[in-house]
Amino acid sequence: MKKINQKNFKKTLSKFSTGVTVIAINNQNKIIGKTVNSFSSLSLSPPLVMFSLDKNSSSINNFKRSKFISINFLSKKQIKISLNFAKKNSKWNDTEFFYGQFKTPIIKDCLSNLECTVEKLIPMGDHIIFICKVINVLNVLNNNKVKPLIYYNSQYL
């Protein structure tokens, strides 16, 4: 066993494979997206999900003020979208999307999309956990040939 430090903790966590999402908001007609792999389901009844964002994220205050968000499950063909929204001040120019019922950006051709209300924020360590209630499930692909975008060992699979 090694004594824990930030470097070996991060390397250890990279061995856990995750799906990749883009969490998106429309805050006073300013649309913002962030690539997030800390997404998880939380409850079936009521339908709750959660994710976390770094407290030092350039757009954390916009996300904290948003009542509605979309969660877009990326497919393997959407690596460029993931890379774009992993950057600071990402752009929507090359990302096809439409607005959901609550004016959240819904990215086209995803495996699935959720529209949610933000129910609770929990500061924990260097992140803020967002607890969200799912209001709408959209764009569920019935094509088993479309594969999810997976992140493992600090790279896309």
> Is the full-model pTM beyond 0.85?
yes
> Would you list the domain boundaries of the chain?
20-156
Q: pLDDT by residue (tens digit) across 68-94?
A: 999 999 999 999 999 999 998 899 999
Quickly name the fold that domain 20-156 has.
Pnp Oxidase; Chain A (2.30.110)
Distance CA 12, CA 114 (A): 30
Contact criterion met (CB below 8 Å) for 49 and 42: yes
**Which band of pLDDT confidence, cut at 50, 70 and 90, is reported for residue 29?**
confident
Contact criterion met (CB below 8 Å) for 18 and 81: no
